[in-house]
Amino acid sequence: MIKESYFAVDALTQRDNLFTRMDARVKVILSITALIVLLAIPGVKFALGLVGLIMAALFLIRIPLKLVIGRIAVPLIFGIFVFLLLLFFQNGHPIFTLHVLGSNIAGTREGFILGTTILARITASVSLLLFLSVTTPVHELGHALIYLRFPKVIVEIMLLTYRYLFVLWDEGMRIRQAQTLRMGYPDGRGIRTWKRSVKSISTLMAMVFIRAYDRAESTFDAMQARAYNGNVTGGHYKSWKTKGMQPWS
Amino acid sequence: MVLEAKEVQFSYSDGTTALKEINLHIPRGHFCALLGPNGVGKTTFFKVLINLLKPSQGEVRLDGQPVSNYSRAELYRRIGFVFQDPNDQLFAPTVGEDVAFGPTNLKFPPAEIAARVQTALELVGIPQLINKPIHYLSYGQKKRASIAGVLAMRPQIMILDEPTAGLDPLGVREIMNLLVRLNKQEGITILMATHDVDLVPIYANHIFILNEGKIVLDGSPKEVFSQKQLIRSAHLRLPRVAHLGEILFNKDNLSIDSLPLTIGEARRMVVSQVKGTGDSHG
């Protein structure tokens, strides 16, 4: 399911629309600028405006609502948790009081303002990253980051991770299926069943690590056999997208 | 002579001896096959040939010079190596970027790199996949993309580790035809590892049999497959057609000068036998 989700995002970046046609560097610069402004401006107006704008853009390019909700839900739950903590534990003027288990907990005005600001910022930041991820293929993002002088080694690790995520996921799934076929994850409940499943999962994880190591060695050999000199991406990103997206152009 | 191994030995750090004493000459322009059963050390030998592994003893020479004397760029500009599993080799996010990896490392100007990428992809028949992410490719397309990645460096020799493993019959034929085209039209010397004995006589003009860390047979397909006992002791077998010829000779008393290795040879043999019989009856 996780792999399908990656594939879904990846497939969306391959579509042809206004935002996928836009140069990755423009999108990265705009996103970073928006993040800086988001953190610099107090209040929630800019954040909410940004969320509205991004949602309109996502709607315009027909990004499935399920995917948008799925991507935003987890950070949003975390944001709501932070909001509640701040609302009740930030010192300030009480605006309402709750009676919980015989004690009074007061929600404060300062806590509410700070909580809503953080919640809005989290939602806006996540929406922004979602927008970037569904409109920009990872390799374009990588080249844009290199162009913008991000540390090359980090970008290269990101690109390699992206490439091998799918390969290792497939290997992990193959091991899981092989385990399932030999009762690695038995049906039913009980401590024995549970212990067997935990053991299978730990074996699976260990095997994926070992295979990742093997894969890394083979890949390094393959890189050396093509005169690897320390650069994965190579080339320079001089031209804008309209003039060709190839990294060597 | 292009590539030569002299008394090459190789042992792993755990003490396992993978290659005992290998002597091999690969002449320029030949299409060579290294035949051997699984686990015999074909991949290890290839890695020694391209200097990814250092031999414990002996040496590998390219055009008379030890491969260890070449700079990495110079060596891999001349020898291209295609891995068995294309996923080991394709590490860039898109096909075009992966094919550009080698030429970029060789520091060619951008226009030259773009031209090489285009040409390599056209040679392997997938120019339309230039901007495709690797994980969208089929296994056969990945094989082609990994060959293109090596071709873009314009090597004189291509070494391929089981290039047909995991492909369907059509995929096998397409890859082998591609290799023949590269050999005949582009003049690239080919050395491929395989244990597909039926495939080898159709395409290769020189065969090496590797067994127990040694080259036990070396010659043309006719010469090599005439050594039936040695072939079988190397955990290999005769091509199916040759086996049929052997049965016809042993059990049906058909007079055969040499075992047919391909369908074409078998057909000629059968036709001549039938005609001969017809003449004798007539």
Interface of B with A in 243-272 (CB under 8 A): none
Please determine, for residue B49, whether its predicted confidence score (pLDDT) is greater than 90: yes
Whether A28 and A131 share a structural domain: yes
Tell me, yes or no, whether A143 lies in a domain.
no
Same structural domain, A174 and A227: yes
pLDDT at B87: 87
* Model confidence pLDDT, tens digit, residues A7-40: 677 788 888 888 989 999 999 999 999 999 999 9
- Which of the four pLDDT bands, split at 50, 70 and 90, describes residue B277? low
Q: Chain B contact for A239, CB < 8 A?
A: no
Domain residue limits at A20 = 2-136
A249 found inside a domain:
no
Chain B residues within 8 A of A14 when measuring between CB atoms: 133
Single out the residue in A69, A102, A136 at which a domain terminates: A136
Do the domain assignments include residue A142?
Answer: no
Number of domains in chain A: 2
Give A221→chain B minimum CA distance, Å.
7
Sequential DSSP letters for chain B: --EEEEEEEEE-TTS-EEEEEEEEEE-TT-EEEEE--TTSSHHHHHHHHTTSS--SEEEEEETTEEGGGS-HHHHHHHEEEE-SSHHHH--SSBHHHHHHHHHHHTT--HHHHHHHHHHHHHHHT-GGGTT-BGGGS-HHHHHHHHHHHHHTT--SEEEEESTTTT--HHHHHHHHHHHHHHHHTS--EEEEEE--TTTHHHH-SEEEEEETTEEEEEE-HHHHHT-HHHHHHTT----HHHHHHHHHHHHS----SS---SHHHHHHHHHHHHHHHHHHH-
Same domain, A157 and A116: no
Structure tokens at B15: 């003490």
CATH fourth-level superfamily of B3-226 = P-loop containing nucleotide triphosphate hydrolases (3.40.50.300)
Residue A141 lies in a domain: no
Q: How far apart are CA A104 and CA B17, in angstroms?
A: 77
Q: CATH 3.40.50.300 region(s) of chain B?
A: 3-226
Last residue of a domain, one of A136, A162, A185: A136
Q: How far is B79 from chain A (nearest CA, A)?
A: 8
Q: Does residue A75 lie within any of the structural domains?
A: yes
A243 pLDDT more than 60? no
Give the model's confidence band at A245: pLDDT under 50 very low, under 70 low, under 90 confident, else very high: very low
Query: pLDDT (tens digit, 9 = 90+) per residue, A161-180?
Result: 888 888 888 888 888 887 88
pLDDT at site A136: 92
Residue of chain B with shortest Cα separation from A163: B93
- Does residue A114 share a domain with residue A155? no
- Chain A residue closest in CA terms to B102: A226
Flag whether A185 is in a domain.
Answer: yes
Looking at the fold, whether A128 and A226 belong to one and the same domain comes out as no
- Do A100 and A201 belong to one domain? no
Terminus-to-terminus CA distance in chain B, angstroms?
53
Q: Closest by alpha carbon to A215, among A150, A168, A177?
A: A168
Confidence of residue A5 (pLDDT cuts 50, 70, 90): low
Residue A249 has pLDDT above 80, yes or no: no
ipTM above 0.90, yes or no: no
Residue A235 binned pLDDT confidence (cut-offs 50, 70, 90):
very low
